[in-house]
Amino acid sequence: AKWVYGFGDGTAEGTAGMRELLGGKGANLAEMSSLGLPVPPGFTISTEVCTYYYAHDRQYPADLRDQVDAALARVGALVGKRFGDTKNPLLVSVRSGARASMPGMMDTVLNLGLNDETVEAVAALAGDRRFAFDSYRRFIQMYSNVVLGIDHHNFEDILEFYKDEKGHTLDTDLSADEWQEIVARYKICVEEHLGKPFPQDPAEQLWGAIGAVFGSWMNQRAITYRRLNAIPESWGTAVNVQAMVFGNMGETSATGVAFTRNPSTGEKELYGEFLVNAQGEDVVAGIRTPQDLTERARIAAGSDKPSLEALMPDCFAEFTRICDTLERHYRDMQDLEFTIERGKLWMLQTRSGKRTARAALRIAVDLANEGLISRDEAIRRVDPQALDQLLHPTIDPKAERKVMARGLPASPGAAQGEIVFDADTAEELAAEGRKVILVRVETSPEDIHGMHAAQGILTTRGGMTSHAAVVARGMGKPCVSGAGMIRVDYATGTMTAGGVTLKRGDVVTIDGSTGEVLLGEVSMLQPELSGEFAALMEWADAARRMKVRTNAETPADARTARQFGAEGIGLCRTEHMFFDEGRIVAVREMILADGEAGRRAALAKILPMQRQDFVELFEIMAGLPVTIRLLDPPLHEFLPQAEEELAEVAASIGADIQKLRARVQDLHEFNPMLGHRGCRLGITYPEIYEMQARAIFEAAAEAAARTGAPVVPEVMIPLVATRAELDMLKGRIVAVAEAVNREKGTTIKYQIGTMIELPRAALRAAEIAATAEFFSFGTNDLTQTTFGISRDDSARFLAEYVEKGLLESDPFVTLDRDGVGELVRIAAERGRAARPDIKLGICGEHGGDPASIAFCEEVGLDYVSCSPYRVPIARLAAAQAAL
């Protein structure tokens, strides 16, 4: 079998497409070589050897050695040297390379093949002893660390101690003899650790390094990384063996890294760093401060160290040409590693560069405009979830900042609100429409509901990967984590930093992009939605089939959603309007009323307010469809539960506290989510739905008269299980519509439909569709009722289900295609069969989740509806689903 694939000298046995076999690094080295770029020759031992190795009790295939020897001889011939030769030795690097770049794998070993004899030959050939011994000491340290398992610090200590002894500050200060002395001390150190000398035989060194690469596939770090990133163990890693080129051969040599475009902004400019007379990872190791590649960057940074452009103009010019070639070839921004040996440029690695969301967007749009990729390709290249980072407000740079403390910029965007110290309070205040910042020492899964409710999250402990940081990024919420200078006192509800103490309810602004915590309300800028963002959205809009609506009930949310491109409202939850100050009193009166007459009297007070709500929404939506869901939650949600609140509420509505208490008890339910709610309320108290219907139709008439844009309200009846329920309520609503038309002399058009959120409704969709003009899949409840899992209590165990592999993902986050999805599919098919022009949409949280949106496209829904900030995400995801 063929185990080894050579490259170099303008040819290669592999290609970029052979990633699975050669690993990412090996495949791209082969590709660069075939493109005729200057790549030091070498060969790749394929991932199949890794698989073989583990399937055969850590033995290599019998014919591997011969193939490696032949490949080494070929590399030697190309560079005019021989591996192990004492006069003219070939030195190599041994580099691991999995399909996906993977931390935890073996570090690269450079300068392999050096020993006490060959180092002298290298010194003689290069005419530079200092270089030879600098290379040797690097080799001993790297090899001892990654192959022999002797920690770096042993060698670092020896070097530091020696430099102190000699009064040197920089490594570059050491002379040839001094490096030779270091080498001697390193060898003693190795012998002390191993009880035997540092291996002198180049073949033994090579096979030691190859074994270490394959061995590292099964080390704990690699295993953990694979588990977290769902990388199968069967993939294996490849090993690359490559002729060395030397960036440490004096002042005309250098090594560096580069991105072909700016990875944080996406700007089309070469971006990177290099070091003169250095090798390998020196640039990233921070031993010396690296220099900028371009003059432009040097000037911008105010650095006095010359750029590569100024220092080695010919190499720089060639390098920029190569960058261009590689970008055109791979049709993407590249992340490159290069070395210059005595004025000659060598390419050592290329791959698609990691980038921020902002850069990803800009690069995709630029590449399409430059003609390197199609617009469809640009749409595919941007991760919809990542857009989240771009949609949040930022702090006005002109605003005055009173910095109270600093932490880590854990999740982008700025947020402000009253500080609260526990999740329950955050949720309570948010439910009242107040803006809060949740402040915790650190967060845990029990805090999720509070994090959801908060505008932003501030923690005093934990890093960029702490619970708070990870969850906040997932939610797209601004977060500052690890602000250690703040002391939080839960007992007194205060936080203190820099001599300032804030108490619960005081306002702060956090900047999740810089990590700053600012006192008070600081003016913020809304996100920039023009430029590349607008361009990509426009392309996405042209590519998608499904419409994107929003879930919104407040004018502010509706306006935000419009700015983000919402094409109507898919879900307006009217109960949220009932909590508003001024009307909650009337709502409670209605609930406490003794009979229908009393209820109607209270409802009459609510009617004008409710009508005004709808007028505003209709005006903002200017003729776009608006789906309004009639009252859904159980009535006890509007009454106080705690004894101390009862008296207050009784007084405020002028009711007897005994009576109030009795009513609260009366309304108590054991399982409220499956209790007296949704259309069941409308059946028992038709006057409530009649009032809401009247408010809707009167508002439609008023808004149409004012804006001239006809409004077609969609009245949605929740929690329907049977057609009979829907028939009864539809009759009532139609009667209201006719009454309003008669009274106003109008001809308002409207539709009446239902939410499909119970399995029975999904199954009986055919008969329900005979009455319903539209279905909106309420997949939160439908998931809850299909799984029989309470959404509000699932946090305690669902994460464990996912962890143990019982569920692929949280079904409340990503729609369960197999179960809930089947119900959706059935309902869509049966509904359409009964009423071919029935309108189908989704309004659960899933409407903003890209994977779920892909499912909606498959089922052929007409629209998805999601929260305002997810509208752009849904637009892009819907386009990707349609491509």
Residues found near ligand ADP in the complex (CB under 6 A): 40, 93, 95, 108, 110, 242-245, 255, 280-281, 337, 339, 348-349
Residue type, 416: Q
Asked whether residue 629 is marked as a ligand-binding residue, the answer is yes
Among 467, 572, 846, 866, the active-site one is 467
Element (H, E) at 209: helix 202-216
- What's the maximum distance between 2 C-alpha atoms anywhere in the chain? 108
Tokens representing 288? 């010396």
Burial of 658 (0-12, 13-18, 19+ CB in 10 A): exposed
Least distance between ligand ADP and beta carbon 118 (Å): 16
- Helix, strand or coil, per DSSP, at residue 773: coil
Least distance between ligand ADP and beta carbon 281 (Å): 6
Asked whether residue 273 is marked as a ligand-binding residue, the answer is no
Asked whether residue 541 is marked as a ligand-binding residue, the answer is no
Asked whether residue 332 is marked as a ligand-binding residue, the answer is no
Buried b (16+ CB within 10 A) or exposed e, 221-231: ebeebbeeeeb
d(CA 541, CA 672): 41
Q: With respect to ligand ADP, which residue has the nearer C-beta, 222 or 348?
A: 348
Least distance between ligand ADP and beta carbon 92 (Å): 7
Least distance between Mg ion and beta carbon 571 (Å): 9
Q: With respect to ligand ADP, which residue has the nearer C-beta, 118 or 339?
A: 339
Report how many residues bind Mg ion under the rule CB under 5 A: 5
Question: Residues 402, 518: contact at Cβ < 8 Å?
Answer: yes
Would residue 843 show up in a list of annotated catalytic residues for this protein? yes
Among 31, 613, 757, 857, binds Mg ion (CB under 5 A): 757
Q: Which does 40 bind (CB under 5 to 8 A by kind): ligand ADP, Mg ion, none?
A: ligand ADP
Q: With respect to ligand ADP, which residue has the nearer C-beta, 248 or 466?
A: 248
Least distance between Mg ion and beta carbon 292 (Å): 20
| 781 touches Mg ion by CB under 5 A | yes
Among 202, 290, 778, 821, binds Mg ion (CB under 5 A): 778
Bridge partner residues of 440 (DSSP) = 459
Q: How far from chain centre, in Å, is Cα 508?
A: 26
Burial of 432 (0-12, 13-18, 19+ CB in 10 A): exposed
d(CA 136, CA 148): 16
- Restricted to residues 343-382, the positions that interact with Mg ion (CB under 5 A) are 349
Q: With respect to ligand ADP, which residue has the nearer C-beta, 7 or 863?
A: 7
Q: Which does 24 bind (CB under 5 to 8 A by kind): Mg ion, ligand ADP, none?
A: none
Q: Which does 687 bind (CB under 5 to 8 A by kind): ligand ADP, Mg ion, none?
A: none
Tokens representing 876? 């892009």
Q: With respect to ligand ADP, which residue has the nearer C-beta, 243 or 276?
A: 243
Question: Residues 628, 575: contact at Cβ < 8 Å?
Answer: no
| 845 touches Mg ion by CB under 5 A | no
Asked whether residue 476 is marked as a ligand-binding residue, the answer is no
Q: Which does 757 bind (CB under 5 to 8 A by kind): ligand ADP, Mg ion, none?
A: Mg ion
Among 843, 846, 856, 866, the active-site one is 843
Q: Which does 242 bind (CB under 5 to 8 A by kind): ligand ADP, Mg ion, none?
A: ligand ADP
Q: Which does 95 bind (CB under 5 to 8 A by kind): ligand ADP, Mg ion, none?
A: ligand ADP
Least distance between Mg ion and beta carbon 443 (Å): 28
Buried b (16+ CB within 10 A) or exposed e, 812-839: bebbbbeebbebbbbbbebbbebbeebb
Asked whether residue 779 is marked as a ligand-binding residue, the answer is yes
Name the residue with the smallest CB distance to Mg ion. Answer: 781
Q: Which does 28 bind (CB under 5 to 8 A by kind): Mg ion, ligand ADP, none?
A: none
Q: With respect to ligand ADP, which residue has the nearer C-beta, 44 or 389?
A: 44
- Identify which of 181, 176, 185, 72 has the alpha carbon closest to the alpha carbon of residue 126: 176
Asked whether residue 95 is marked as a ligand-binding residue, the answer is no
Compute the half-sphere exposure of residue 181: CA atoms within 13 Å on the CB side of its CA. Answer: 12
Q: Please report which residue ranges of 351-399 form alpha helices under DSSP H.
A: 357-369, 375-381, 384-387
Least distance between ligand ADP and beta carbon 312 (Å): 16
* CA-based end-to-end distance of the chain: 41
Would residue 189 show up in a list of annotated catalytic residues for this protein? no
Q: What DSSP string describes 600-661? A: HHHHHHHHHHHHHHHHHHHHHHTTS-EEEE---S-GGGGS--SHHHHHHHHHHTT--HHHHH
Q: With respect to Mg ion, which residue has the nearer C-beta, 462 or 634?
A: 634
Residues flagged as binding site for substrate: 573, 629, 757, 778-781
The residues annotated as belonging to the active site are: 467, 843
Residues flagged as binding site for Mg(2+): 757, 781
Can you give the binding site for Mg ion, defined by CB under 5 A? 337, 349, 757, 778, 781
